[in-house]
């Protein structure tokens, strides 16, 4: 009788361990990063204006992904980190180009704020997916609108 109960407990334990392993496998099998969500990586040799335009497009893509409720969290996080690091390179390179070709500081700061919002969105993980609260989505869309309206043009105010 006692052996039977022990056997049952072991079976339940094995089933539970199997379920845990299955869940862990699901995490491991998540697809690897698709940088730029399918687009080619942003060419670092392009002039700052072109890179800024590409980053604005990438941000729009990420905002759309954040609102879809079907984006895999790990891939989204890597894309946001990619956006942040590409922007960092852009900000550093922006100081090296001639004054007339520089991006404006307010535009760069708006892009930094977009990075901050995207990073907040990357924290909103439920299971494997990104599920953003409505107030964050509203702000992401508003910031995206701001970026799309701002002229990605040289000679911005310093």
Q: Half-sphere exposure of 154 toward its Cβ, with a 13 Å CA cutoff?
A: 12
Q: How far apart are CA 123 and CA 111, in angstroms?
A: 19
**Interface with another protein (CB under 8 A), residue from 54, 59, 75, 122:** 122
Burial class (CB in 10 A: 0-12, 13-18, 19+), 140: buried
- Cα angle 151-152-158, degrees, rounded to a multiple of 5: 90
Give how many residues touch another protein by CB under 8 A: 41
134 binds another protein (CB under 8 A): yes
141 binds another protein (CB under 8 A): no
Q: How far is CA 78 from CA 30, 42, 75, 87, in A?
A: 13, 15, 5, 14
Smallest gap from residue 103 Cβ to another protein (A):
10
Bridge partners (DSSP) listed for residue 129: 72, 126
- For residue 125, the surrounding DSSP H or E stretch is strand 125-126
128 binds another protein (CB under 8 A): yes
**Interface with another protein (CB under 8 A), residue from 9, 88, 151, 153:** 88
Stretch that binds another protein, among 5-13, 32-40, 44-52, 88-96 (CB under 8 A): 88-96
Query: Do 88 and 128 meet the contact criterion of CB atoms below 8 Å apart?
Result: no
Convert residues 24-63 into a mask of x (bound to another protein by CB under 8 A) and - (unbound): ---x------------------------------------
Smallest gap from residue 58 Cβ to another protein (A):
15
Footprint of another protein (CB under 8 A): 23, 27, 73, 81, 84, 87-88, 91-92, 105-106, 108-113, 115-117, 119-120, 122-129, 131-136, 138-139, 142-143, 146
């Amino acid at each position: 009788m006692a052996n039977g109960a022990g056997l049952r407990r072991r079976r339940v334990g094995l089933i539970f361990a199997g379920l845990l392993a299955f869940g862990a496998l699901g995490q491991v099998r998540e697809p690897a990063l698709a940088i730029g969500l399918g687009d080619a990586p942003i060419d670092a040799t392009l002039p700052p204006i072109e890179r800024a335009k590409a980053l604005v497009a990438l941000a729009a893509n990420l905002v759309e992904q954040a609102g879809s409720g079907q984006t895999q969290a790990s891939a989204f996080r890597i894309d946001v980190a990619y956006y942040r690091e590409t922007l960092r390179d852009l900000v550093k390179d922006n100081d090296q180009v001639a004054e007339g070709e520089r991006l404006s500081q307010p535009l760069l700061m708006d892009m930094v704020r977009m990075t901050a919002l995207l990073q907040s969105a990357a924290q909103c993980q439920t299971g494997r997916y990104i599920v953003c609260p409505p107030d964050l989505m509203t702000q992401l869309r508003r910031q995206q609108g701001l970026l799309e309206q701002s002229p990605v043009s040289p000679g911005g105010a310093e």
